[in-house]
Structure 1
């Protein structure tokens, strides 16, 4: 019969870090809903606030739940994440540029 794996290699977070991450995620989600539902901000400012809150929430999830950090053990994971994020930015940015350029050129005729 196989023995249960009981060693803790330190790659997982503690309960305290999970609770902190959960509370931060809930606060950021509530702040996003509040920014939209209360109409306290102008539409452009609300969009900017949602963008900032989304980026902060992504960082919270990466740090507290996926345990992505700058330690030596995480260097390959961090490099893969940076490459994937850069690829997504290039693809989405290029697509938006091409669509905008095409729309401008089509409207001039």
Structure 2
């Protein structure tokens, strides 16, 4: 039985796995972003609305760090199907989250009127 991998540690399809250095950079950036979010909450230096905005922005940056450094997604043509699947999954999650929020809000409004 033959395996479809080369001695360089890469698949035949050209999909590479990150080096130790890239994983370390991703980990350090993730820890810094998490510490920044924690500090934004613990310092009470901003209003609650601004704090939520800062945490949301840090979360979005964290998502991009994970996608780039840990999932190894980039703009190459070899990653086209991975990007399509990723955006489909993100779309499904957004539909579910906003659908649940809509139903909960609508239910709350209908129950409060009685």
State TM-score, norm by structure 2. Answer: 0.84
State the alpha-carbon separation in 2 of the partners of residues 92 and 46 from structure 1. Answer: 21
Higher mean displacement: 68-77 or 5-14: 5-14
How far is 1:8 from its partner? 3.7
Q: Deviations over 1:77-100 (max 9, x none)?
A: 111110011001001101101110
Q: Which runs of 4+ in 1 moved over 6 A?
A: none
Correspondence 1:7 to 2:12? no
State the alpha-carbon separation in 2 of the partners of residues 14 and 33 from structure 1. Answer: 29
- Counterpart among 65, 72, 75 of residue 70 in structure 1: 75
Task: Between the two structures, name the one with larger relative contact order (CA 8 Å, sep ≥ 6).
Answer: 1
Total equivalences in the alignment: 107
State TM-score, norm by structure 1. Answer: 0.87
1:12 counterpart SS class: coil
Partner of 2:54: 49
How far is 1:17 from its partner? 2.1
Q: Deviations over 1:10-35 (max 9, x none)?
A: 61223332222122111101101100
Partner of 1:90: 95
* Structure 2 residue runs without a partner (length 5+): none
State the alpha-carbon separation in 2 of the partners of residues 74 and 8 from structure 1. Answer: 18
How far is 1:44 from its partner? 1.3
State the alpha-carbon separation in 1 of the partners of residues 85 and 60 from structure 2. Answer: 18
